Amino acid sequence: MKIKFCGASIGVTGSCHLLTTDMHQILLDCGQFQGGKAMEEMNKEPFPFDPAAVEAVLLSHAHIDHCGRLPLLVKRGFKGNIYCSDATADLLEVMLKDSAHIHEMDAEWQTKKNLRQGKQPVEPLYTMADAENALKLVKPVLYDQLVELNPEIKVCFNDAGHILGSAVIEIWATEAENTSKIVFSGDLGVTNRPILRDPTKIKKADYVIMETTYGNRLHPKNSTSIDELIKITIDTIKRGGSVIIPSFAVGRTQELIYQFNMFYEQHPEYQKYLENVNVYIDSPMATTATEVFKKNAQVFDEETKAYILSGDNPLDFKNLKFTRNTADSQMLNQDKTPKIIISASGMCEAGRIRHHLKHNLWDSRNSIIFVGYQAEGTLGRLLVEGATEVKLFGETISVGAQIHNLEGFSGHADQNGLLDWIGGFQVKPKQIFLVHGETESKMDFAKKISEQFGYDPVVIMQNSEFELETGKLLSKEDVIADALDEEAVESIRARIDSIKEEMENVLTSTHGVLEGKISAEKLNQINNIILELEKASVNLGSSITSEDRDTVPLSEQRGN
Give 227-243 as a 3 state SS string: HHHHHHHHHHHHCCCCE
The pTM score is 0.76
Output the CA torsion 403→342→99→412 (10° steps). 60
End-to-end CA distance of the chain: 27
**CA distances (Å), origin 334, targets 233, 279, 287, 337:** 20, 16, 22, 9
Which of 101-115, 183-197, 443-457, 476-490 bottoms out in mean pLDDT, i.e. has the lowest? 476-490
Helix (H, G, I), strand (E, B) or coil at 106: helix
Helix (H, G, I), strand (E, B) or coil at 362: coil
Residue 390, pLDDT score: 93
Classify the C-alpha dihedral 318-321-322-327 as positive or negative: positive
Is pLDDT at 530 greater than 80 in this prediction?
A: no
Output the CA torsion 210→213→219→225 (10° steps). -120
Is pLDDT at 500 greater than 60 in this prediction?
A: no
Comparison of pLDDT for 504 and 313, the residue scoring more? 313
Q: Give CA angle at 187 (50, 545), nearest 5°.
A: 65
Residue 482, pLDDT score: 35
- Nearby residues of 68 by Cβ (< 8 Å), 6 or more positions away: 30, 31, 32, 43, 95, 96, 99
Mean pLDDT across 367-378? 86
**CA distances (Å), origin 471, targets 63, 207, 212, 434, 465:** 30, 10, 20, 14, 10
**By the 8 A CB rule, do 163 and 255 touch?**
no
- Encode pLDDT of 419-460 as tens digits: 999 999 999 999 999 999 999 999 999 999 999 999 999 999
Residue 545, pLDDT score: 36
Q: Is 415 left (phi over 0), alpha (psi -120 to 50) or beta?
A: alpha
Residue 310, pLDDT score: 67
- Encode pLDDT of 46-72 as tens digits: 999 999 999 999 999 999 999 999 999
For residue 541, give the H/E element and its range.
helix 520-543
Is pLDDT at 483 greater than 50 in this prediction?
A: no
Residue 548, pLDDT score: 37
> Could you tell me which of 71, 13, 74 has the C-alpha nearest to residue 38?
13
For residue 103, give the H/E element and its range.
helix 86-116
Mean pLDDT across 99-103? 91
Residue 142, pLDDT score: 96
How many angstroms from the chain centroid is the CA of residue 145? 27
314-345 core/surface letters (b: 16 or more CB in 10 A; e: else)? bbebebbebbeeeeebeebbeeeebbbbbbbb
Is pLDDT at 502 greater than 70 in this prediction?
A: no
Mean pLDDT across 200-217? 96
Residue 432, pLDDT score: 96
The listed range with the strongest mean pLDDT (256-270, 390-404, 470-484, 522-536) is 390-404
Q: Half-sphere exposure of 42 toward its Cβ, with a 13 Å CA cutoff?
A: 23
Q: How far apart are CA 490 and CA 493, in angstroms?
A: 5
Is pLDDT at 348 greater than 80 in this prediction?
A: yes
- Encode pLDDT of 273-300 as tens digits: 888 899 999 988 888 888 888 888 888 8
> Could you tell me which of 529, 535, 547 has the C-alpha nearest to residue 38?
535
Q: How far apart are CA 124 and CA 110, in angstroms?
A: 10
**By the 8 A CB rule, do 128 and 101 touch?**
yes
Residue 379, pLDDT score: 92
For a pLDDT cut of 70, what percent of the chain falls above it?
A: 84
**By the 8 A CB rule, do 277 and 338 touch?**
yes
H-type helices in 267-319, by residue range?
271-274, 284-295, 302-309
Is pLDDT at 506 greater than 60 in this prediction?
A: no
Q: Which amino acid, one-letter code, is at 434?
A: L
pLDDT band per the 50, 70, 90 thresholds, residue 315: confident
For residue 95, give the H/E element and its range.
helix 86-116
Is pLDDT at 523 greater than 80 in this prediction?
A: no
Helix (H, G, I), strand (E, B) or coil at 194: coil
- Encode pLDDT of 380-429 as tens digits: 999 999 999 999 988 999 999 999 998 877 788 999 999 999 999 999 99
Cis ω before 345 (30° cut-off from 0)? yes
Q: How long is the chain?
A: 560
How confident is the prediction for the chain on average, in pLDDT? 85
Residue 376, pLDDT score: 78
Q: How far apart are CA 359 and CA 255, in angstroms?
A: 26
Is pLDDT at 263 greater than 60 in this prediction?
A: yes
Comparison of pLDDT for 124 and 260, the residue scoring more? 124
Which of 259-268, 293-302, 446-455, 500-509 bottoms out in mean pLDDT, i.e. has the lowest? 500-509
Helix (H, G, I), strand (E, B) or coil at 53: helix
Residue 211, pLDDT score: 97
Residue 540, pLDDT score: 47
